[in-house]
């Protein structure tokens, strides 16, 4: 059960609704986000929805059979729109592109990447300053100082930043310099991080776990939404299977399934997904035909010199070519609907 409350609901009205829900053996969780005020009810009893629905203070009420209720498309049929100002929105019906290096390395690298993105009309730059690495002895990124430099250069050029946050204590220092908090595949079920990102008024790009199910991704999104943050994007980035011919198994099946289950935008990462430079483009185009709302990928002036992930990173020339193809593919998809 999902109850949308009216903006001007008074405390007594809310209490009356909660009491009624309790009477019906539903546990309610109150959720206040940037855009709405909800009571999420979990329980099993079946009842006439009007029993509660007629109470004052209620805007709308939906019975949602999914356990992830706030991110479910069963109550919110219209897809989520995330507004970044300046006419920039992430939403169904437009193709969002996010590109950049795996790791932020230095000022020159950022400037060259920005110049490439601006020339192609791409508005989001990805790049990590905190890098999760399997081995403690690997390069772990430039940290906050790198992020500040990254931010200043992007801001001066109208580019939005997508960058990974690895832990709760990074959220506050990163926030002034971040446009989209990316949650990596190793943190999809870092529930405390999700809880805290629920309290932030910045969009979050939530990646599917390394061997996460589609349902687990939606539950993790529910954590952030129920924490108070509706500005959510989901990201398919490949799953772990027995096959070693590709780095991961990019699971494009997840796209139509997610698009039906949730109102959130679905972004696809073919770079990590297949992990081999020459195959990033066909997977990106395939993802678009499968219904993706956006593509995030890795590009670098000199991929062979990149600090990390060079083998799956496109040169700017390859990136430019792929952007043109992605846009044409997206146009065709819109025609075919």
217: Cβ–Cβ under 8 A, 6 or more apart, which residues?
188, 206, 208, 209, 234, 258
Please say whether the beta carbons of 148 and 177 come within 8 A: yes
d(CA 28, CA 22): 8
Using CB under 8 A as the binding rule, whether residue 246 contacts its own copies is answered as yes
**Per CB under 8 A, does 210 bind its own copies?**
yes
Answer for which of 249, 315, 318, 320 binds its own copies (CB under 8 A) is 249
Nearest CA-CA partner of 326 in 275, 263, 273, 280: 280
Q: Nearest approach, Cβ of 170 to its own copies (angstroms)?
A: 8
Least distance (Å) between residue 313 CB and its own copies: 17
Shortest separation between residue 263's beta carbon and its own copies, angstroms:
17
| Contacts (CB under 8 A) with its own copies, residues 308-327 | 325
205/224 with CB nearer its own copies:
224
Shorter beta-carbon distance to its own copies: residue 75 or 123: 75
187 binds its own copies (CB under 8 A): yes
What is the Cα–Cα distance from 319 to 316, expressed in whole angstroms?
Answer: 5
Per CB under 8 A, does 44 bind its own copies?
Answer: no
195 φ/ψ angles, rounded to the nearest 5 degrees = -55, -45
Q: How far is the CB of 250 from its own copies (least distance, A)?
A: 6
Residue number, 6 or 139, with CB nearest to its own copies = 139
Residue 161 makes contact with its own copies by CB under 8 A: no
Which among 89, 62, 65, 87 has a CA at the least distance from the CA of 77?
62
User: Restricting to residues 267-296, which ones interact with its own copies according to CB under 8 A?
Assistant: 273-274, 276, 278-279, 282-283, 285-291
CA 294 to chain CA mean position, Å: 10
Rounded to a whole number of angstroms, the minimum distance from the CB of residue 167 to its own copies is: 4
> From the CB of 42, what's the least distance to its own copies, in Å?
5
CB 181 within 8 A of CB 105: no
In this complex, which beta carbon is closest to its own copies, that of residue 114 or of residue 142? Answer: 142
Cα separation, 60 vs 206, in Å, equals 28
Does position 95 interact with its own copies (CB under 8 A)? The reply is no
Q: Does residue 334 bind its own copies (CB under 8 A)?
A: no
Rg over alpha carbons for the chain, rounded to the nearest Å, is 21
- Which residues, 53 to 72, sit near its own copies by CB under 8 A? 67-68
CA distance readout (Å), 240 to 53, 135, 136, 320: 45, 19, 22, 30
- Residue from 92, 94, 251, 301 binding its own copies (CB under 8 A): 251
The answer to the question of residue 25 lying near its own copies (CB under 8 A) is no
240 is an interface residue for its own copies by CB under 8 A: yes
Asked whether 337 and 323 are in contact (CB, 8 A), the reply is no
Smaller CB separation from its own copies, 98 or 214? 214
Among 52, 99, 183, 255, binds its own copies (CB under 8 A): 255
Q: Of the listed pieces 12-20, 50-58, 127-135, 304-312, which binds its own copies according to CB under 8 A?
A: 127-135
Report the b/e string of 53-85 with b at 16+ CB within 10 A.
eebebbeebeebebebbbbbbbbbeebbebeee
Closer residue to its own copies (CB): 144 or 153 = 144
Instruction: Name the nearest CA neighbour of 80 among 220, 266, 222.
Output: 266
- Give the residue carrying structure tokens 């109102």: 263
């Amino acid at each position: 059960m999902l109850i949308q409350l009216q903006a001007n609901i008074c405390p007594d009205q809310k209490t009356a609704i909660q009491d009624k829900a309790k009477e019906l053996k539903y546990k309610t969780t109150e959720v206040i986000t940037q855009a709405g005020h909800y009571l999420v009810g979990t329980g099993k009893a079946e009842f006439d929805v009007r029993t509660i629905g007629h109470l004052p203070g209620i805007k709308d009420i939906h019975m949602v059979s999914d356990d992830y209720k706030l991110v479910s498309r069963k109550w919110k049929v219209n897809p989520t729109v995330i507004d970044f100002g300046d006419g920039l929105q992430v939403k169904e019906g437009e193709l969002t592109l996010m590109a950049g290096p795996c790791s932020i390395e230095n000022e020159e690298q950022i400037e060259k990447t920005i110049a490439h993105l601006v020339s192609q009309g791409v508005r989001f730059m990805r790049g990590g300053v905190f890098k999760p690495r399997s081995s403690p002895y690997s390069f772990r990124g430039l940290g906050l100082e790198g992020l500040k430099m990254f931010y200043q250069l992007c801001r001066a050029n109208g580019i939005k930043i997508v960058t990974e946050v690895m832990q709760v204590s990074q959220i506050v220092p990163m926030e002034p310099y971040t446009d989209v908090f990316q949650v990596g595949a190793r943190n999809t079920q870092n529930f405390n991080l999700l809880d805290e990102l629920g309290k932030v008024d910045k969009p979050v790009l939530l990646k599917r776990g390394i061997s996460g199910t589609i349902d687990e991704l939606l539950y993790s999104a529910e954590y952030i939404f129920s924490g108070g943050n509706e500005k959510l994007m989901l990201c398919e980035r490949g799953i772990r299977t027995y096959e070693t011919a590709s780095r991961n198994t990019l699971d494009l099946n997840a796209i139509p399934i997610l698009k039906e289950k949730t109102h959130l935008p679905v972004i696809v990462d073919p770079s990590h997904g297949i992990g081999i430079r020459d195959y990033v483009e066909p997977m990106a185009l395939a993802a678009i035909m499968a219904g993706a709302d956006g593509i995030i990928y890795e590009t670098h002036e000199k991929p062979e010199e990149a600090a990390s992930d060079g083998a799956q990173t496109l040169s700017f020339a390859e990136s430019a070519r792929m952007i043109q193809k992605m846009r044409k593919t997206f146009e065709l998809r819109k025609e075919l609907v």
